[in-house]
Amino acid sequence: MMRDNRIRRLPMVLSALVALGLAVLPLPTVLEPLRPDFLVLVVFYWCVESPRAGGLGLAFVSGLALDLVQGVVLGQHALALTLMGAWATHLRLRIRVFSVLTQCLTIFALLTGYQFVLFWVDGATGNPVTAFSRWLSPFIGALLWPALVNAFGNVRGR
Amino acid sequence: MVAFRNTDTSGRTTGLLLRCVLYSLLALGLIIVDKRYDHLGRIRRLLSVAVYPVQVAVASPFDGWNWFRDSVTTRDALRAEKTKLEAQLRVAQFRLQRYEALEAEIQRLRALRDSTEGITDRFVIGDVMDVDLDAFRARVLVDKGAGDGVYVGQTVLDSGGVFGQVARVGELSSEVILISDAAHAIPVQVNRTGLRTIAVGTGDMSRLKLPYLPTSADVIAGDLLVTSGLGGGFPAGYPVGTVAEVKRDPAQSLADVDVKPAAALDRSKELMFVWLKPQTAEALPKPAAPKPSAPKQAATKQ
């Protein structure tokens, strides 16, 4: 059992590291607000795919890593990612049987919820970011979701 | 078809709600402790070492590309650049000739009026790392940290003028908040008239604004703004920007002034961290004792 868990965790950690790299990859200033939350999508994927391998722990640790690389108040992304990761885990059986479109809509809702928690903590800690462009990344993230799931399926299928 | 491989679809994940609540409380606790109390600084510095490899890994291909581009530049290009740099150096040296004398003079004058405006002591050059921080805040990551003596609030310059100040220090790297960040303000002075005000960031790297000037204030397009040194955060006299446009609406009590930053906020790769000379009373050249009272006596005689 223990060994089984470890085998399942390696791709989890690797994919999270790659996603963290994508989160800090320099982009032109114009494109920057459009950057999808790769790490959040990866965490959602693992919450749906294998919730028993510790998706929520991954969510919390990934959130802390995001707090550190983005230089915001410690715990902000951790809180948002924990809450939305738990919601994704709760919905996982339904997400599995949804059509692609419904899956995308669900992920869009989760990503928007994630942004909302970030927005709320920003405001509560006295650094409100009211730019409208922060609400664009959930759109792009939701559009990427099917591609991400397929990519993971292909890599793991080999 | 979007399909998941794991077929473990048995009903419940044990204690999901409990774990969610625990992690959330932990995160909330972190937010409150980090925001309200300053105890997390050391922990944060250690944790930032853990994510530093990821940042270095992302930045390294860009560094590699720059290195490659540098190493394949032709001899002609290098010669042209050398000529250009020599010309720049000549101009700079010409301007520097009187610098030492002027600095000594300024020290003497400041001592006369017991001013404690900081005077720069030494510089350390840091490189901006090729990683993005928060998309909605103007910040950059620089490869100098607490190990190099960098401290929070330290002034950061580039070759054009004031770039920003250190917002957070890690062991190996530090975050610099740009003067254009929407949450940043810097005390400035109009060089032409000595008028003091505050330049506030807009979130747009090519623009600052002066929101606290009355419509009647003497400020025109082209005015140079320098740091005033008030508040003690920034040393006095470094260029911050030039006034780009002044809009005066008679219906408003405050003028709308746009400023173009002097530093290349969106392009600079090399930044200077500035240490201020400690200004203790004994470090200053002492003015002759009776001098300050002399004008007063003259005034009473008249």
pLDDT in tens, B1-28: 455 655 555 545 567 888 888 889 998 8
What is the share, in percent, of chain B residues with pLDDT greater than 70?
Answer: 82
List the single residue in B with minimal CA-CA distance to A29: B135
Interface probe for B, chosen from A9, A15, A24 (most Cβ of B below 10 Å), is: A24
Whether residue A97 lies inside any domain: the answer is yes
Most confident of A27-31, B95-99, B136-140, B245-249: B245-249
Q: Which domain holds residue A142?
A: 2-30+37-153
- Nearest Cα to Cα of residue A103 among A30, A28, A49, A36: A49
Quick: pLDDT tens for B144-188: 888 888 888 899 988 888 999 998 888 888 889 999 988 899 999
**Contacting residues of A for B6, CB less than 8 Å apart:** 49-50
Tell me how crowded residue B25 is: count the other CB atoms within 10 A of its CB.
Answer: 12
Across residues B111-121, what is the average pLDDT?
Answer: 60
Q: Where are the beta strands (DSSP E) in chain B?
A: 119-127, 139-142, 155-157, 162-169, 174-178, 185-190, 196-201, 208-210, 224-227, 239-247, 256-261, 270-277
> DSSP assignment of B161-219, as one string?
SEEEEEEEE-SS-EEEEETTSTT-EEEEEETTT--EEEEEE-S-TT-EEETT-BTT---
Residue B114 binned pLDDT confidence (cut-offs 50, 70, 90) = low
Residue pair B273/B150 in contact (Cβ under 8 Å)? The answer is: yes
Q: What confidence tens digit (pLDDT) does each residue in B240-282 have?
A: 999 999 988 888 888 889 999 998 888 888 888 988 765 544 4
The structural domain count of chain A equals 1
Residues of each domain in chain B carrying CATH 2.40.10.340: 98-277
Nearest C-alpha neighbor of A92 from the set B7, B236, B77: B7
The predicted pLDDT at position B234 comes to 86
* A71 located within any domain: yes
Q: Is the pLDDT of residue A1 over 90?
A: no
Q: Do B30 and A75 touch (CB under 8 A)?
A: yes
A125 part of contact set with chain B, CB < 8 Å? yes
Interface contacts A/B by beta carbons within 8 Å: 145
Lowest mean pLDDT among A87-96, B115-124, B191-200: B115-124
User: Does the pTM exceed 0.95?
Assistant: no
The pLDDT tens digits of the residues spanning B37-77 come to 766 777 777 788 888 888 888 888 888 888 888 888 778 88
* B98-277, CATH topology level: Thrombin, subunit H (2.40.10)
User: What pLDDT shows up at residue B135?
Assistant: 72
Q: Does A23 fall in a domain?
A: yes
B10/chain A closest Cα distance in angstroms: 9
DSSP state of B286: P
The yes/no answer to whether this complex scores an ipTM above 0.90 is no
- Rounded to 5°, angle at Cα B165 from B192 and A123: 110
Interface test with A, best of B1, B18, B19 (most A CBs within 10 A): B19
Tell whether A158 is covered by a domain.
no
Q: Check whether B289 has a pLDDT greater than 60.
A: no
Which DSSP category does B6 fall into? -
